[in-house]
A and B are shown apart, each in its own frame.
Chain A
Amino acid sequence: MKELSLNILDITMNSVKAGAKNISITLTETNKTLAIIIEDDGCGMTKEQLVRLSDPFFTTRTTRKVGLGIPFYRLAAEQTGGYVEVTSVSENDNPRNHGTVVTALFYTNSIDFTPLGDIISTVITLIQGSPNIDFYFSHTLINQHITLSTKEMRQTLGDDVPLDSYDVLDWIKEYLNEQYNFR
Chain B
Amino acid sequence: MKTLAELAAIKERMKDKVAIREGNASTRIVVGMATCGIAAGARPVLSTFVEEINREGLFDKVTVTQTGCIGICQYEPVVEVHSAGNEKVTYVKMTAEKAKRVIAEHIKGGKIVTEYTIGKA
Contact = CB atoms under 8 A, between A and B. Distances in A.
Q: Do the two chains belong together in a single complex?
A: yes
Interface of A: 1, 6, 9-10, 13, 17, 61, 63-64, 67-69, 72, 118, 121-122, 124-125, 128-129, 152-153, 156-158, 160-162, 165-169, 171, 174-175, 178, 182
Contacts of B118: none
A161 to B, nearest CB: 5
Contact of B38 (A6, A157, A161, A175): A6
Nearest to A17: B68
B67 to A, nearest CB: 9
A157 B73 contact: no
Contact of B10 (A69, A152, A165): A165
Contacts of A129: 33, 65-66
Given A128-B50, A166-B50, A61 B43 contact: no
B7 A9 contact: no
Contacts, number: 95
Interface string B85-102: 000000000000000000
A174 B44 CA distance: 17
Given A171-B2, A178-B2, A61 B34 contact: yes
Contact of B18 (A69, A156, A161, A175): A161
B7 to A, nearest CB: 4
Given A10-B38, A156-B8, A168-B10, 20 more contacts: A6-B39, A13-B33, A13-B38, A13-B68, A61-B69, A72-B35, A125-B33, A125-B66, A152-B4, A156-B4, A156-B7, A156-B11, A157-B10, A160-B11, A161-B10, A161-B18, A166-B53, A166-B54, A167-B10, A171-B2
Main secondary structure on A side of the interface with B: helix
Given A63-B70, A125-B47, A166-B59, A1 B11 contact: no
A171 B10 contact: yes
B68 A153 contact: no
B7 A10 contact: no
Interface of B: 1-2, 4-8, 10-11, 13-15, 17-18, 21, 33-35, 38-39, 43-44, 46-47, 50-51, 53-54, 59, 64-66, 68-71, 73
B7 A153 contact: yes
B38 A1 contact: yes
A155 to B, nearest CB: 8
14 contacts: A6-B38, A6-B39, A10-B35, A10-B39, A61-B69, A63-B70, A64-B71, A122-B43, A129-B66, A166-B50, A166-B51, A166-B53, A166-B54, A171-B6
